[in-house]
Amino acid sequence: MFYKELNQLKTVIVIFILVFFALSLTMMAFKPMYDDLVKLYSKSASELSSTSMEAMAESMKDIAKVPEGVSENVWFVATQWNGKNFGQFIPLMALIFALPMICREREKKTLSILLSRVSRKNIITVKYLAGLSSLLFVILIGNITGPLAMNLFGYGTNLFGGMYAFLNQTVAGTFVFSLFFLISVISGEILKPMILGIIAVIAVPIISVFSWASFLNIYEYLSGIKTLLMFGSESVYTAVLLVLSAMSFLLSLTIFEREEF
Amino acid sequence: MNTALEIKNLKKNYRKNIDVLKGISLSVQEGTTHALLGPNGAGKTTLLKCVMDFVRYSGDIRAFSKKPGDIKERIAYVSEEKALYRNMSVIKFLKICERISPAFNMGRAAEYISNFSIPVNKKISTLSTGQCTTLSMISGLSQDADLFLFDEPTHGMDPVSRVMMMDKIRERIIDGKTVFYTSHIIPEVEQTADSVSIIHGGQILFSGLIDDIKEKYSIVYINSECLKEFDRIPLISKYNERGAIALLVENVELYKIADQSIVIQKITPSLEDFFMALIRGMTNVL
């Protein structure tokens, strides 16, 4: 059954990998401009004299400052690729991988093929694992395409330098995927939850700007930057996200086992 | 002979307390074909869904003395919708079936595909309704199962394919397998099935061997004023037909009527006559 699920996901996986490879190549056009900006910020900070402007310039220096032990090229990949491009796609990918898993089969009335041959527990478990592993595989590849593009353009970068970012994105990806998988189990059709999902993907980061909803902000996980700055300091929040993911899966399983077809 | 499928006091109601099945009991013997006949909405599909554990129910269902959900590999099921992954090619779909179910026999499937001339490399979405039904049936018949459950197995098929499909079903019976299927096509049931259950309004009106119908039952036509003569014997069904009263009775009971001359006409019912008499009796209350 795992083979069947991967077979149905393979086109989406290939499309995402091609898109990310193309995007990472496009990103390289901004590398010289990025280098110039970093130099400009550093220079501005040292030249400004007024107190308030000095404070602002200090924060600018912090932004531009590359953490110790991290090369400028890896930093460029982390901020410009993971932070501004690739990371943003993860909730959308989770939506596209998770949502059709159950509700498309329900809509097309093909669930009886599986239900008559496989236990409900296996159906949910295999579908969840197949979808999640596909998502994480694409995230992993996405973390390699950035450094790969750098090397192709002559900026020597460790191909696996983004693996800390991958860990963060795995947490965020698992969380978002699990929520959309639960919606897939509950929903009877694909179109409405897909539209609502896209709205949620856009709306949640906007809402999380407000302090009362700041806990919804998983952007730092999605961008993968957090690991480079303060790896391990948000372990409770990470644990909460993983527990919520597990709860979503268990709830999906419970609902599916009780459902009538 | 052992029992392949035993259903006892099966009840099923959907939301708003609509009773779809009202305490159904029937049994299917191993190595036989049992057909479930009934008009639309009688509860045939729901009954199969209960057997497959697709819906919640009350009552007891046993396949080979076990809960059907515990022996899925011994049961093959083809749904009413003829579920297929329509974006796949025929060969891909069969490979998926092989991967999903260890009981799937690819060699047998290839033989059926050849027999029915299904184009293996074509996308399923381009196949006709009849071909889709055939392919869905092939996916079920190719399993090395002991009990086959088919919901309208020949729906949408042309007459030649239909006959061929029923032959394939009979071949599985010769192999010692058991088939339980629903149908609307009574002549087909008469030719294929050993026993039949007739369901109407969620209740079983009759369950037994097809051969017994001709031997044990008669339909008699009488004038309405003679109806009281039949008060003393149990009538299975009574209804109006062409200005007379038609009665479905057991032959042993019919002989208890002293004055046989009141019978205008007596016929030995075919399965179709028997089915129609039962259903008319339920819907055409005198």
Each residue's pLDDT tens digit, A123-180: 999 999 999 999 999 999 998 898 899 899 988 887 776 677 888 899 999 999 999 9
- Locate B270 and state its tokens: 């075919």
- What Rg do the C-alpha atoms of chain A give, in angstroms? 21
ipTM for the whole predicted complex goes beyond 0.95: no
Nearest to A115 among B52, B73, B84 (CB): B52
Nearest to A260 among B54, B79, B96 (CB): B54
B210 vs B258, which has greater pLDDT? Answer: B210
Task: Please tell me the predicted confidence (pLDDT) of residue A68.
Answer: 60
Task: Average the pLDDT over B101-112 and give the result.
Answer: 94
* Confidence at A52, pLDDT banded by 50, 70, 90: low
Chain A hits for B45, CB-CB cut-off 8 Å, are none
Task: Please tell me the predicted confidence (pLDDT) of residue A228.
Answer: 47
Task: Please tell me the predicted confidence (pLDDT) of residue A53.
Answer: 54
Could you give the percent of chain A with pLDDT greater than 90? 38
| pLDDT greater than 80 at residue A63 | no
| pLDDT greater than 50 at residue B145 | yes
Strand B237-241: give its sheet, edge to edge.
B237-241, B244-250, B217-222, B263-267
Task: Please tell me the predicted confidence (pLDDT) of residue A67.
Answer: 59
User: Which residues of A fall below an 8 Å CB-CB distance to B?
Assistant: 1, 3-4, 7-8, 108-119, 258, 260-261
| pLDDT greater than 60 at residue A229 | no
Return the H-helix or E-strand segment holding A125.
helix A120-152
Residue B118's identity, in one-letter code, is: I
Residue of A nearest to B77 (CA): A116
Question: Closest Cα partner for B109 from B89, B137, B87, B83?
Answer: B137
Q: Is B63 helix (H, G, I), strand (E, B) or coil?
A: strand
| pLDDT greater than 60 at residue B37 | yes
Mean pLDDT of the residues in chain A: 83
Chain B hits for A115, CB-CB cut-off 8 Å, are 52-54
Alpha-carbon A29 to chain mean position: 23
| pLDDT greater than 70 at residue A65 | no
Task: Please tell me the predicted confidence (pLDDT) of residue A189.
Answer: 84
Task: Please tell me the predicted confidence (pLDDT) of residue A191.
Answer: 87
Task: Average the pLDDT over A93-97 and give the result.
Answer: 94
